[in-house]
Amino acid sequence: MSAIQSLHDNLSKAFGLPSSAVEWLLMIYQAIQVFDDVADGDEVTRHELDKTIWNMLVAMHQNQFWRLNQDALSPLLATMVLKWQASDVFEREGKADAKSFVWRAGYYDLVLASVQICHGPEIAIKMAPYVMDLYGEKFEDYMREFKNA
């Protein structure tokens, strides 16, 4: 099962998010993967680039979940970007550590906020450990990546 399919299944089945929330979160996930690949100089297919351009400039703004909740989600998106940029600075300066590793997981803050928006705080509190456990990268693998760079 692909990472995107696993994420889709967790968002829709395990966390019971409505389809518009799942679609929005998957658009963001796909975009940050492409942006990270571009920043790292990794190959990005034309299809992935075109999909990202469309999703970020058109589809995201047509998404019902985004339209209804953009006042709450926009600052979280901004924070996610700033945390990723901070981790990237540390990584490029050879200072990758446990802090910069955690900063990279800002996407899951969006997922947790989406659970809270859709289900309320009591359910979000119960689901929070499971949401945060979705972050699949292992710290040891992260550190190995930068020790070999």
Chain center to CA of 118: 18
Give the SS3 label for residue 104. coil
Residue labelled with tokens 């990005």: 44
- The Cα 61–Cα 109 span in angstroms is 20
How many distinct structural domains can be found in the chain?
Answer: 1
What parts of the chain have a pLDDT lower than 70?
148-149
- pLDDT at residue 148, as a whole number: 58
Q: Exposed/middle/buried for 7, CB within 10 Å: 0-12, 13-18, 19+?
A: buried
Instruction: Supply the pLDDT for residue 137.
Output: 86
Range of the domain at 58: 3-147
Q: Please give the model's pTM, rounded to 2 decimal places.
A: 0.92
CA distances from 122 to 7, 66, 125, 126 (A): 22, 22, 5, 7
Q: For the chain, what is the largest distance between any 2 Cα atoms, rounded to a whole number of angstroms? A: 44
What pLDDT score does 1 carry?
A: 72
* Angle of the 107-119 helix axis to the 19-40 helix axis, nearest 10: 170
**Dist CA 113 CA 11 (whole Å):** 12
Cβ distance 49 to 31 under 8 Å? no
Query: Are the C-beta atoms of 97 and 119 separated by less than 8 Å?
Result: no
pLDDT of residue 144: 87
Task: Give the per-residue pLDDT at 59.
Answer: 98
